[in-house]
Amino acid sequence: MKKETRKTNNNLLFNVELFLYSRSLHISMIVTGFLMLYEQGIIKLKIITNFKNKYKFPHPHFVEAIVNNKAILYDCWDLCDWTAADWEKEKWQDISYNETLLTGIDFYFKRSFLSSRNNVFSAINKKKIFPLGFNFYVSFKNNPLDKYNIFSIDYLKHIAKKHVFTHKFTKPLFIEDIEATANYVISKDLKIIFFSRLWDPHGKDVWNDDKKKEIEYINKTRIDIILKLKQLYPNNFIGGIEYSRLAVDLCKDIILSGSMTNRINYINTMKNSDICIGSMGLHESIGWKTGEYIAAARAIINEKFHFEVPYSFKPIKNYLPFENYDECLSAVSSLMNNPDLVYEQKKENEKYYNNYLRPDKQVLNTFHIIENNQI
């Protein structure tokens, strides 16, 4: 898919070739950012899709780009383990694989970024790695990730999800579906939301006892918080666990209906809430919900971040962190009794989103890093 330069009043213009190897939802935000920048006339864009070559990189959550002759990788995976080279077979390989990968590029933007874990690399390659920031699913018109060759296996899988395995189907969501503006709500009318899901401690994401314990901790934390909030704030809290066989076994009384977990319905409910709760995701990642909360300019209570995010997203100012069940409940009480702080957080998150997290700004800020860092 080739696109020509559009007329623009901007002096800033980048020549971009974008290479897509999978339809991973993880990469949707980055692709959307490039499409938005093209629409605004800021970049000259050529997109090359090669979905048959999904094994080119260690996992399917990569976007490759050539930006003004610089080779860039955007890594949107939850995990930050530089030895996890074979994503499908989950076969642990030597660090030399990723050392070679970094040697062949100019810049690497990592979603789950932790500077201390980059110490396994040579000094020159370590300097190439930068934090990408929060992630959430979003699409844009003419997105090649949403287009299928009707004779392809991908198309058959898409149709099967849409009409048979509907719980796995994700209808495209656009920026206007997710964004909202900060609003002031008095204390008694504040709404709290926490929709979540459970992970199978015996599933494919579990490869050792530590991972099993992590998933069991995630599940227990989510269930305990929801049960207590339903008890403490029956008129202000909306939340529960997405349906699954595991949820039926562990917490059948707080399972959400299918209509409530429908993506559009959930997003609308979230935008009409005030205090949004996020817990740790798989591999200690920052969940996608947190990015959605920021985009919707909501106040946030979030489990402590295990990864670094850029551009001064700070406790108190942007969110209240917690490390355990009691701290989460205390943070909820603090915000419920302080609508002014709720409003201030909403405004700060709206500002952060518009400057740094909106998909076009997230990608454009990586361009600024490329321009300002000559490696």
- What does the buried/exposed string (b/e) look like for 261-297 if buried means 16 or more CB atoms within 10 Å of the residue's CB? beeeebbebbbebbbbbbbbbebbbbbbbbbbbbbbb
Segments in 145-253 forming alpha helices (H): 153-163, 175-178, 209-232, 245-251
pLDDT of residue 153: 61
Check: CB of residue 292 under 8 Å from CB of residue 178: yes
330 to 130, 186, 299: CA distances (angstroms): 34, 19, 15
The helix (run of H) or strand (run of E) holding residue 196 is strand 192-196
Check: CB of residue 294 under 8 Å from CB of residue 300: yes
pLDDT of residue 171: 75
pLDDT of residue 96: 79
The helix (run of H) or strand (run of E) holding residue 321 is strand 320-322
Which stretches of the chain drop beneath a pLDDT of 70?
Answer: 1-12, 84-94, 148-170, 204-207, 374-375
> pLDDT for 212-249, tens place per residue?
888 999 999 999 999 999 999 999 999 999 999 999 99
**For residue 92, which phi and psi values (nearest 5 degrees)?**
-80, 125
The helix (run of H) or strand (run of E) holding residue 63 is strand 62-67
Give CA–CA dist 113/118, Å, rounded.
Answer: 9
pLDDT of residue 63: 97
DSSP state of 337: T
- Cα dihedral value 134, 288, 212, 157, nearest 10: -120
The first and second tokens of residue 83, run together, are 């030895």
The percent of the chain in helix, strand and coil, each rounded to the nearest 5, is 45, 20, 40
User: Count of alpha carbons within 13 Å of 296, Cβ hemisphere only?
Assistant: 26
Contacts of residue 191, defined as CB under 8 A and 6 or more positions apart, other chains included, come to 185, 236, 237, 238, 272, 273, 274, 275
Check: CB of residue 143 under 8 Å from CB of residue 108: no
Which residue bears the tokens 């997230």?
362
Give CA–CA dist 86/67, Å, rounded.
Answer: 27
DSSP state of 139: B
pLDDT of residue 189: 98
User: Count of alpha carbons within 13 Å of 283, Cβ hemisphere only?
Assistant: 17
Contacts of residue 143, defined as CB under 8 A and 6 or more positions apart, other chains included, come to 28, 31, 32, 35, 172
Give CA–CA dist 317/305, Å, rounded.
Answer: 15
